Amino acid sequence: MLEAPQTLTHDIESDPPPPPRSTLRPTSRGKIIGSHPALRDVMGTIDRIAASRCTVLVTGESGTGKELVVAAIHDASPRRDGPLVAVNCGAIPENLLESELFGHVKGAFTGATANRQGFVAAAEGGTLFLDEVGELPLALQVKLLRVLQHRQYTPVGETRSIPCDVRVVAATNRDLVAWVREGRFREDLYYRLNVIHLHLPALRERPDDIPALAEHFFEQARERCGRPELVGLSAGAREALRRYDWPGNIRELENTLERASLLAAGPEVEASDLPTEVKVGSRDVPAAPELPEAGIDLRAAVESYENGLIRQALARTGFNKNRAARLLGINRTTLVEMLKRKRIT
């Protein structure tokens, strides 16, 4: 019987004083900042397993910093001088995914005019990071399982297997346990990936880390935006940032600080410079529709509702992806990936 991963939580005192900035760990992809016990537990686990070859599954909501954790695993391992190759499994069209992962030989299909190396070969001697691994189609899941079990793969159009020396680290914001039960993800692959499971808490679960993260992103944004005259965040802005629940997590916080640094009159970023939803402390969530007597296909209903909001945001902004992403409270990259996955044009 599969069990859902346990999320680490702790009691948070009300209105503690803002802690000083704390860089928990620098990585080759950026700094991991915070002092939450669950985050420290993740770092401790990384130190214990970094030298091994074991597969790691990193889970958490979108925007919680999974890529930085993968970089920390790679940087702490004996493979640190090898490549760290990141593959977004949800952003590559399904008909190209096998070739992108495993490469192909000349003549394997129309347009294959030369041999081409795939991501697995590119990660040789290093770490292969499979982001959004839950989006892999079932046929590709079988081929990935072979890489994990036998340390070999077969390029498209090739007849012989090629050995590989890569460490696989996967990440997802999906509930893979539920997907296994529904037949959308292979159980044997889940167990192969889930040798070590690292779960990242959402930002709303670690409000004490928000001041340190906000200061870090403010300093970065001030430099990028060319605003040296800005001296910091006002007390009101810090309080508004800490009170908000951050459905987009750390990525949303970073985008918010960049926007505020661009718009602020100075010398401080004020609460009035923040987006409306941050200033009021929560997002307006419409009431759920009444459940029909005959029941409903929940996943289809959620998918339809989500697709409708995306299309409305695109229509309202003249299909400007940056502005549409802001309306939806997500990162532009996330929106682009969703459009590709949902085939919304």
Pick left, alpha or beta for residue 2 (phi over 0 → left; psi -120 to 50 → alpha; otherwise beta).
beta
Report the CATH superfamily, name and number, of domain 300-342.
Homeodomain-like (1.10.10.60)
Q: Quote the CA–CA distance of 233 and 268 in Å, as a whole number.
A: 5
Q: Are 55 and 192 in contact (CB under 8 A)?
A: yes
Determine the topology of domain 27-201 in CATH. Answer: Rossmann fold (3.40.50)
Q: For the segment 244-272, what is each residue's pLDDT rounded down to a tens digit?
A: 989 899 999 999 999 999 888 879 999 88
Assess whether pLDDT exceeds 60 at residue 182.
Answer: yes
Band of residue 58 on the pLDDT scale cut at 50, 70, 90 = very high
Q: What does the pLDDT read at residue 303?
A: 84
Judge contact between 61 and 18, C-beta under 8 A.
no
Q: What is the mean pLDDT of residues 144-154?
A: 90
pLDDT tens readout for residues 1-19: 444 443 333 333 334 444 3
Which residue in 333, 344, 345, 320 sits closest to 91, CA to CA?
Answer: 333
> Which ranges in the chain are annotated with CATH 1.10.10.60?
300-342
On whether the 206-280 domain is CATH 1.10.8.60, my answer is yes
How much is the pLDDT for 111?
67
pLDDT of residue 11: 35
pLDDT at 238 over 70: yes
The boundaries of every CATH 3.40.50.300 domain in the chain are 27-201
Other Cβ atoms less than 10 A from the Cβ of 277: the count is 16
pLDDT averaged over every residue in the chain: 84
- In single-letter form, the type of residue at position 24 comes to L
Mean pLDDT of 124-138: 93
- pLDDT of 129 > 60? The answer is yes
Tell me the three state secondary structure of residue 306.
Answer: helix
Question: Cα torsion for 285, 286, 287, 288, to the nearest 10°?
Answer: -100
- 105, 115 Cβ separation under 8 angstroms: yes
Name residue 88's amino acid.
N
pLDDT tens profile 20-32: 445 678 888 889 9
CA angle 117, 145, 188 (to 5 degrees): 165
Where, residue-wise, is CATH 1.10.8.60 in the chain?
206-280
Output the six-digit token pair for 20: 């000083």
Q: Which residue has the tokens 């420290």?
A: 40
CB neighbourhood size of 112 (10 A): 15
